[in-house]
A = this chain, B = another copy of it.
């Protein structure tokens, strides 16, 4: 199973070693608590109890609630995720949108991801960590565009970051702003719209280079 594109895959980074296992256990507990009780209900005691890691250890290493959320996002960003590589630009964009849709549709992962987005509205540190996570995810996704330029599918000077944002923005808009249902067809349409706009030259950088 591949990791999700532009949201945290909280389950994939499992480095070995005792410290790393503790970190993963605390991360899992943080996300489970966040999904169950929201940011407002997230406590060091709750995470300590759920993870089996002593609360003094949690306080010492993570500082508190904000540190727990930030580290969960940092850990999610340490995975080896790469965007889909289907051999073609339109296929890559469709696969990217489909990954985002599937990961939010997954009950456990979707709840954890939504809880982190919600936390970002209540904690400036969570917001900054989430901003960094998405910036990294989007930067990794830009290879979809550079490959398309190399293949001659897109004009040189296409703003790769703009294309990637265009693919995923409609999905997040439905999930978190208008709260409309998301399905595979919506994801596919978002990808196709971004592809059509890119082919029409909408995302050309001003310099053209």
Contact = CB atoms under 8 A, between A and B. Distances in A.
A86 to B, nearest CB: 19
A69 to B, nearest CB: 14
Number of copies: 2
Q: Which residue of A38, A166, A197 has the most chain B CB atoms within 10 A of its CB atom?
A: A197
Nearest to A206: B185
Contacts of A25: none
Interface residues of A, number: 37
| Interface of chain A: mostly helix, strand, loop or mixed | helix
A197 B172 CA distance: 19
A170 interface: yes
A118 B40 CA distance: 13
A165 B166 CA distance: 12
A43 B39 CA distance: 20
A60 interface: no
Given A169-B169, A173-B168, A189-B162, A134 B178 contact: yes
Interface in A65-95: none
24 contacts: A40-B40, A40-B122, A117-B177, A118-B121, A120-B179, A130-B179, A131-B178, A131-B180, A134-B178, A135-B178, A165-B170, A165-B174, A166-B170, A166-B193, A169-B169, A169-B173, A172-B172, A176-B177, A193-B202, A193-B203, A196-B196, A196-B200, A196-B202, A199-B200
